[in-house]
Amino acid sequence: MFAKNAWYVAATPDEVDAKPLGRTICGEKIVFYRGPEGRVAALEDWCPHRGAPLSLGRVVEGRLVCGYHGLEMGCDGKTVAMPGQRVRGFPPVRSFPVIEKSGFIWVWTGDAAQASEDQLPELHWADNKEWAFGGGLYHIACDYRLMIDNLMDLTHETYVHTTSIGQPEIDETPCKTTIDGDHAVTSRFMNGIQAPPFWRMALRANGLPDDQPVDRWQICRFSPPSQVHIEVGVALAGRGGYDAPKQDKAYSIVVDFLTPETETTMWYFWGMARNFRPDDKALTAQIREGQGKIFAEDLQMLECQQANLSKWAGRDVLKLNIDAGGVQARKVIERLVAAERSTLSV
């Protein structure tokens, strides 16, 4: 279950270079490529001539040339030319709204008439010199909503990420979930604790001591259709925690774009934005590598959880207080999907 009238992260800009990229998003087989002036285009990955995937073709002067028999496709899904053929009557292929912004390529998989750039999320840290971002992409064989659950309930860190960001205090400290329109926010504040290894590294990177008590926070924010941004950080204890002055804390945003591929597989665009030492590319690479290892720890669990849920389809799971963030997020998604369906039936 996923909303289709929504912007999803489909790729990072470097994935769509001189060659086209074929990728399935929300069940749609799409080819992404750079049309005139390098602008990204997204079309059904189908050549109207004989059904070959256009993603096996190449781009010539902004036109996507089918790699089988040379049909030239335009960004609007209309055939531009084909050697020796009149192409005016060729059936068009579907063109998807697509935007490159904030370091990602976003695609709208539903009704194109409803797409507008306004609906793209504002990422204040993107294209901002005071911030640095590093991230990656994993393919996971699970319903993307299992990843929403995962990211909205960070008690799993204690068990899944034991050597990096997990610590018993996460479990021991109650979290609080609030609703803000279509957004759900689950937050937890742990004061006067020891920082776990990842955060000790971050403290050192900020020029702060790593052996003193800290105040730690986690503020997980779900936004539709399937984004989770988590404000995370530690401050030296008693300096104000989340609100401590910049020089007393290490602060980041965990950035998660969860893009459905099919009902039971997903693309996981993960990353971290930070506002300390933004020009330190070695630090960006180091954080990215550490985060990549941490997030890889979730993969087996989520894929096995999905296998269990598929085997025992319909079996109830619990909705505890720690699950409130995921539960609320799912309600938002169900509302969006229901709204799409009612529009269709009118």
Residue 189 touches a second copy, criterion: CB under 8 A: no
Instruction: Give how many residues touch a second copy by CB under 8 A.
Output: 51
Q: In angstroms, what is the minimal distance from the CB of 263 to a second copy?
A: 15
Backbone angles phi, psi at 337, to 5 degrees: -65, -40
Residue 236, CA distances (Å) to 37, 188, 231, 240, 316 in order = 49, 17, 17, 8, 42
Torsion sign, CA atoms 146, 270, 226, 43:
negative
Stretch that binds a second copy, among 11-19, 81-89, 177-185, 269-277 (CB under 8 A): 81-89
Stretch that binds a second copy, among 51-59, 117-125, 249-257, 336-344 (CB under 8 A): 51-59
Alpha helices by DSSP H, 34-156: 144-152
- Provide the mask over 303-332, with x wherever binding to a second copy is found by CB under 8 A and - wherever it is not: -xx-xxx-xx--xxxx-xxxx---------
Q: In angstroms, what is the minimal distance from the CB of 1 to a second copy?
A: 17
Residue 340, CA distances (Å) to 118, 333, 345 in order = 19, 11, 9
Q: In angstroms, what is the minimal distance from the CB of 274 to a second copy?
A: 27
Place of tokens 């699950």: 323
- Euclidean distance between CA atoms 108 and 309, whole angstroms: 29
11 or 65: whose CB is closer to a second copy? 65
Q: In angstroms, what is the minimal distance from the CB of 231 to a second copy?
A: 21
Residue 172 touches a second copy, criterion: CB under 8 A: yes
Q: In angstroms, what is the minimal distance from the CB of 276 to a second copy?
A: 31
Among 48, 97, 103, 241, contact with a second copy (rule: CB under 8 A): 48
Residue 149 touches a second copy, criterion: CB under 8 A: yes
- Euclidean distance between CA atoms 116 and 26, whole angstroms: 18
Among 68, 131, 138, 189, contact with a second copy (rule: CB under 8 A): 68
Q: Which of 239, 240, 220 is nearest to 230 (CA)?
A: 220
Q: Indicate the helix (H) or strand (E) that contains 160.
A: helix 157-160
Is residue 9 helix, strand or coil? strand
Among 70, 136, 278, 290, contact with a second copy (rule: CB under 8 A): 70
- Euclidean distance between CA atoms 140 and 304, whole angstroms: 11
Among 12, 102, 114, 155, contact with a second copy (rule: CB under 8 A): 155
Residue 83 touches a second copy, criterion: CB under 8 A: yes
Residue 263 touches a second copy, criterion: CB under 8 A: no
Contact predicate 26/13, CB 8 Å: no
Return the C-alpha torsion angle 76, 78, 81, 84, nearest 10: 170
Q: In angstroms, what is the minimal distance from the CB of 84 to a second copy?
A: 6
271 or 326: whose CB is closer to a second copy? 326
Q: Which of 305, 338, 123 is nearest to 221 (CA)?
A: 123
Residue 141 touches a second copy, criterion: CB under 8 A: no
Q: Which residues contact 99 (CB under 8 A, 6 or more apart)?
A: 7, 40, 105, 106, 117, 120
259 or 306: whose CB is closer to a second copy? 306
Q: In angstroms, what is the minimal distance from the CB of 320 to a second copy?
A: 6
Contact predicate 144/301, CB 8 Å: no
Q: In angstroms, what is the minimal distance from the CB of 57 to a second copy?
A: 8
Q: In angstroms, what is the minimal distance from the CB of 207 to a second copy?
A: 34
Q: Under the rule (CB under 8 A), what is the footprint of a second copy? A: 29, 45-46, 48-53, 56-57, 65-70, 82-85, 90-91, 149, 153, 155-156, 158-160, 168, 171-172, 174, 300-301, 304-305, 307-309, 311-312, 315-318, 320-323
